[in-house]
A and B are shown apart, each in its own frame.
Chain A
Amino acid sequence: MSILYFVVQQTMFFAIPLLIVALGGMFSERSGVVNIALEGIMVMGAFISIFFINTFQNTLSGQGLLLLAILIAGVSGGIFSLLHAFASINLKADQTISGTALNMFAPAVAIFMARMIQGVQQVQFTDTFHIVKVPVLGDIPVIGPMFFQNCYITTYLGVAIYILSNILINNTRFGLRLRACGEHPQAADSVGINVYKIRYAGVIISGVLAGIGGLIFVVPTSTNFNGSVAGYGFLALAVLIFGQWRTKGVLGAAFFFGIMKTLSSTYSGIPVLKDLPISNEVYKMIPYMATLIVLACVSKNSQAPKAEGIPYDKGSR
């Protein structure tokens, strides 16, 4: 039983950041802007917020500091994503190109700044955010050890973001407009929706969520930030497509990928898996192969937003 608890707890650490970043990507793509800059935005959000923790950890600590850091990660991710929004919405540039540029830009800036300011590229932080056991809830049998012991508040934040995103995109006026801009921007424009504004909103939301995702990926899994989020932005992109751009699908995909990631890092602690002649690299490969296979099966009737990746030009029809 304790192994099961451990696996569930670990899965949370991997799946929640994936979920948040993929939901971010969903807002951007369903407004019609392909965002492969998620990786770079994660790096930027993680770098600035962890640098903040590094600077203020002598005066602040615990959940207050983490919440402040999450706020900062979100703001910096949002601001950084403006670069992508400007290039792909106002300048009508190829969206994959500006995304690729940001992906290279962010780690270079993070390493450059860290080394110029403090000499080494790793930004250290002390983990004062770990919750051994949530009072009351942690004592519930089975559910308690699974979800309310050995955890971080980021887990609950992730769940909250999921619920909010689900409502925002499916049940609000803004969500409907956002989806319209991703499917048929000309039609949306003809009924008075400002496509540029909506797309900006989509990209900024994706930036905020990706920035937060960067921070909460690093906090539970490491004690320093080394200018990289280990390809999580690209993995989140795979989650988004695996989940077919829908909130429920993204949720399922994030947890599938999270479990695979957990197996790759903890399989040696699980007796049944330890005896199998499968190396941990294989578990790491499975999410990517699964995505390829799913893509091959569903791409003919893909649920991808129709106007995704096409700059909106008022003059064209």
Chain B
Amino acid sequence: MLAKKKSKGENKAILNFSASVLAIIAGLLFGLLILLFSNPSQAFPGFLMILQGSFTDGAFGIGQMFYVATPIIMTGLSVGFAFKTGLFNIGASGQFTMGAFVAVYIGVKWTWLPDQIHWVVAILGAAIAGALWGFVPGILKAIANVNEVISSIMMNYIGMYLVNILIVKHVYDQVKNQSKPVAPTANLPKAGLDQFLGPNMTIGIFIAILFVVIIYILIDKTVFGYELKACGYNPFASKYAGINSKRNIVLSMVIAGALSGIGGALLYLAGSGKYIQVLDVIAPEGFKGIFVALLGLSNPIGVLFAGLFIAHITVGGYNLQLYSFVPEVIDIIISAIVYFGAFALLFKAIIRKLMTNSKKEGEQI
């Protein structure tokens, strides 16, 4: 009986996983079609370039992939974690931006901190700022039943404009219309990794992996995680079972916000020459996080690999310019993958049919 149950669970996991893989394949094929449509002679070498992605540039390419993957793994974790509680955290962008600003602010201003802990404090500050930005939609949802999707979108814009104001006021580089560079002690340690993995390589990716593990344990191995999931699956049943769903909604959004905020810190403290621009543009890392979470099925380990995959083809997109293609094709592919991910029910039905068919054939033999 137990074995049967387990195999059923495994089947479900395989089903979900294959649906994701099918969505990826469909998205990539769609990208190939776009390439063929726009420039047939270069399409296949260009497509190979996308698949090769970061491996084209050897070890430096892999370092670049880690650099691109780090923030979107964090925002992906954030969105995925909120999904587990049945909340759609479309506000990862705002939380990310707030975190990025506080990290940069601490990095520029708090030079009185001891060198060794300067970057740690900056990351902590970013986590608190992100948590605050997640707290607002959370508490509004818990108290006033405000739809978290809409309030998160509002918080994205409020955060963006607020950060623009704060940068101009406190850490403004007027010539380049962006934030000032942080003190060297605020940058993430490179631990010698930059020697062979390229200049943008820091320990950031390991911090991200650390959080993947923490969130995995939190969701799957603790009572708190169990309660969160229960609220996500069936809020009424969990309320009946005595779970404080309001507290869980707020906590879930706070943790999700903190994760996104840390993502902002890890990107802007990487010492890669990237600064916060004073523009009226919502941080794209937040939206990428939604895609990472969807592709990774909200599972922390899945999020890790989804983030690496998206970073992989993004780096491939830069190289695509060698074949006179525009890197935006990568965004087209990613959004197509997510759109096809919406076909999950259809894909699952197909796979289930295939699986039962092959089983029947096996029985016949």
Residues on A lying within 8 angstroms of B by beta carbon are 36, 83, 87-88, 91-94, 96-98, 100-105, 107-109, 111-112, 115-116, 230-231, 234, 237-238, 241, 279, 281-282, 284-285, 288-289, 291-292, 295-297, 299-300, 302, 304
| Contact of B326 with A281 in the complex, beta carbons under 8 Å | no
| Contact of A292 with B346 in the complex, beta carbons under 8 Å | no
| Contact of B140 with A237 in the complex, beta carbons under 8 Å | no
Q: Which of B149-157, B220-228, B252-260, B352-360 contacts A (4 or more CB under 8 A)?
A: B149-157
Q: Give complex CA distance A185, B34 in Å.
A: 38
The answer to the question of B77 belonging to the interface, with a C-beta cut-off of 8 Å to chain A, is: no
Q: Which 9 A-B pairs rank lowest in CB-CB distance, beginning with the nearest?
A: A93-B342, A108-B331, A105-B335, A101-B339, A104-B335, A101-B338, A112-B328, A288-B154, A115-B326
Number of B residues whose C-beta is below 8 Å from A? Answer: 49
Inter-chain contact total with CB atoms closer than 8 Å: 139
Set of chain B residues within 8 Å of A109, measured between Cβ atoms: 328, 332
Q: Give complex CA distance A116, B290 in Å.
A: 28
Query: Interface majority SS on A: helix, strand, loop or mixed?
Result: helix
Q: Give complex CA distance A83, B339 in Å.
A: 9
Given contacts A104-B287, A284-B157, 4 further A-B contacts (CB under 8 A): A101-B335, A101-B342, A237-B150, A299-B145
| Contact of B144 with A296 in the complex, beta carbons under 8 Å | yes
| Contact of A87 with B282 in the complex, beta carbons under 8 Å | no
Given that A100-B90, A281-B165, A295-B144 are contacting pairs, would A108 and B345 also be in contact in the complex, using a CB cutoff of 8 Å?
no
| Contact of A91 with B343 in the complex, beta carbons under 8 Å | yes
The answer to the question of B59 belonging to the interface, with a C-beta cut-off of 8 Å to chain A, is: no
Q: Give complex CA distance A234, B164 in Å.
A: 19
| Contact of B149 with A108 in the complex, beta carbons under 8 Å | no
Set of chain A residues within 8 Å of B309, measured between Cβ atoms: none
Given that A91-B342, A285-B162 are contacting pairs, would A291 and B326 also be in contact in the complex, using a CB cutoff of 8 Å?
no
| Contact of B329 with A112 in the complex, beta carbons under 8 Å | yes
Q: Give complex CA distance A81, B156 in Å.
A: 25
| Contact of A295 with B149 in the complex, beta carbons under 8 Å | no
Q: A18 → chain B, closest Cβ, in Å?
A: 14
Q: Give complex CA distance A161, B290 in Å.
A: 35
Set of chain A residues within 8 Å of B339, measured between Cβ atoms: 83, 87, 98, 101-102, 105
Q: A27 → chain B, closest Cβ, in Å?
A: 18
Interface pairs (8), CB distance under 8 Å = A91-B345, A100-B291, A111-B326, A112-B34, A116-B38, A292-B146, A292-B155, A295-B150
| Contact of B328 with A111 in the complex, beta carbons under 8 Å | yes
Q: Which of B280, B325, B332, B343 contacts A108 (CB 8 A)?
A: B332
Q: B153 → chain A, closest Cβ, in Å?
A: 5
Q: Which of A93, A116, A291 contacts B343 (CB 8 A)?
A: A93
Q: B178 → chain A, closest Cβ, in Å?
A: 16
| Contact of A87 with B343 in the complex, beta carbons under 8 Å | yes
| Contact of B338 with A104 in the complex, beta carbons under 8 Å | yes
The answer to the question of B51 belonging to the interface, with a C-beta cut-off of 8 Å to chain A, is: no
Q: Give complex CA distance A132, B39 in Å.
A: 44
Q: B68 → chain A, closest Cβ, in Å?
A: 16
| Contact of A108 with B328 in the complex, beta carbons under 8 Å | yes
Set of chain A residues within 8 Å of B144, measured between Cβ atoms: 295-297, 299-300
Q: Which of A88, A96, A230, A284 contacts B161 (CB 8 A)?
A: A284
| Contact of B343 with A105 in the complex, beta carbons under 8 Å | no
Set of chain B residues within 8 Å of A288, measured between Cβ atoms: 154-155, 157-158, 161
The answer to the question of B344 belonging to the interface, with a C-beta cut-off of 8 Å to chain A, is: yes
| Contact of B154 with A291 in the complex, beta carbons under 8 Å | yes
| Contact of A237 with B153 in the complex, beta carbons under 8 Å | yes
Set of chain A residues within 8 Å of B336, measured between Cβ atoms: 101, 105
| Contact of A116 with B151 in the complex, beta carbons under 8 Å | no
Q: Give complex CA distance A296, B326 in Å.
A: 43
Q: Give complex CA distance A302, B147 in Å.
A: 10
Set of chain A residues within 8 Å of B328, measured between Cβ atoms: 108-109, 111-112, 115
Q: Give complex CA distance A118, B47 in Å.
A: 22
Q: Which of B34, B150, B280, B282 contacts A238 (CB 8 A)?
A: B150
Q: Which of B283-331 contact A (CB under 8 A)?
A: 287, 290-291, 294, 325-326, 328-329, 331
Most-contacted residue by chain B among A98, A112, A115, A231 (CB, 10 A) = A112
The answer to the question of B88 belonging to the interface, with a C-beta cut-off of 8 Å to chain A, is: yes
Q: A161 → chain B, closest Cβ, in Å?
A: 24
| Contact of B153 with A238 in the complex, beta carbons under 8 Å | yes
Set of chain A residues within 8 Å of B280, measured between Cβ atoms: 230-231, 284
| Contact of B344 with A105 in the complex, beta carbons under 8 Å | no
| Contact of B345 with A93 in the complex, beta carbons under 8 Å | yes
| Contact of B294 with A97 in the complex, beta carbons under 8 Å | yes
Please give me the residue from chain A that is nearest to B280 by CB atom: A230
Most-contacted residue by chain B among A104, A285, A304 (CB, 10 A) = A104
Q: A244 → chain B, closest Cβ, in Å?
A: 12
| Contact of A104 with B342 in the complex, beta carbons under 8 Å | no
The answer to the question of B205 belonging to the interface, with a C-beta cut-off of 8 Å to chain A, is: no
Q: Give complex CA distance A296, B146 in Å.
A: 6
The answer to the question of B334 belonging to the interface, with a C-beta cut-off of 8 Å to chain A, is: yes
The answer to the question of B125 belonging to the interface, with a C-beta cut-off of 8 Å to chain A, is: no
Q: Give complex CA distance A115, B39 in Å.
A: 13
| Contact of B342 with A300 in the complex, beta carbons under 8 Å | no
The answer to the question of B263 belonging to the interface, with a C-beta cut-off of 8 Å to chain A, is: no
| Contact of A231 with B326 in the complex, beta carbons under 8 Å | no
Q: Give complex CA distance A292, B157 in Å.
A: 11
Q: Which of B168, B282, B335, B345 contacts A102 (CB 8 A)?
A: B335
Set of chain B residues within 8 Å of A304, measured between Cβ atoms: 147
The answer to the question of B341 belonging to the interface, with a C-beta cut-off of 8 Å to chain A, is: yes
Q: Give complex CA distance A230, B282 in Å.
A: 9
Set of chain A residues within 8 Å of B151, measured between Cβ atoms: 292, 295
Set of chain A residues within 8 Å of B325, measured between Cβ atoms: 116
